[in-house]
Amino acid sequence: MYASRPSIDHARCTLCGKCVVICESNKLAIREKKLHVLDDCAVCGHCYAVCEAGAVSFVALRPRVFKSFPYNGAYFPPGNPDPSIVAGLIGSRRSVRHYTSKEPATETISDLLECASMAPSAHNDQQWEFVVVRDRAVIASLAGRLLEYYGALNRLVANTFMRRLAGLFMGKKVDQYYSEHYSGVQRRIAAAAGKKDLFFYGAPALIVVHSAMDGNSPLENAQYAAYNICLLAHAMGLGTCFIGYASYLLNRDRSWKKRLGIPSAHGVHAVLTLGYPAREFLKPAPRKEYAARWIG
What pLDDT, in 10s, does the model give residues 85-112? 999 999 999 999 999 999 999 999 999 9
Q: Any idea what DSSP says for residue 122? A: G
CATH class of this structure's domain 83-134+204-275: alpha beta
pLDDT of residue 78: 93
Residues 12 and 54: beta-carbon distance below 8 Å: yes
Of 62-76, 137-151, 211-225, minimum mean pLDDT range: 62-76
CA pair distance 69, 45, nearest whole angstrom: 25
Torsion from C-alpha of 43, 49, 51, 53, nearest 10 degrees = 110
Q: Are 209 and 222 in contact (CB under 8 A)?
A: yes
What is the pTM (predicted TM-score) of this model? 0.92
Average pLDDT over residues 170-195: 91
Residue 217, CA atoms < 13 Å, CB-side half-sphere: 12
Averaged over 157-183, what is the pLDDT?
84
Sorted by where each begins, the domain ranges of the chain are 7-57, 83-134+204-275, 137-193
d(CA 116, CA 103): 20
Q: Peptide bond before 263: cis, by omega within 30 degrees of 0?
A: no
Architecture of the 7-57 domain:
2-Layer Sandwich (3.30)
Range list of β-strands (E), 86-216: 129-133, 205-211
CB 130 within 8 A of CB 209: yes
* Predicted local confidence at residue 176, as pLDDT: 86
Lowest mean per-residue pLDDT among 89-93, 173-177, 210-214, 247-251? 173-177
Q: In this structure, what DSSP letter does residue 181 have?
A: T
- Tens-digit pLDDT profile for residues 55-75: 999 876 778 899 999 999 889
Q: What percentage of the chain has pLDDT greater than the value 70?
A: 99
- Helix pair 136-158, 173-180: axis angle to 10 deg: 120
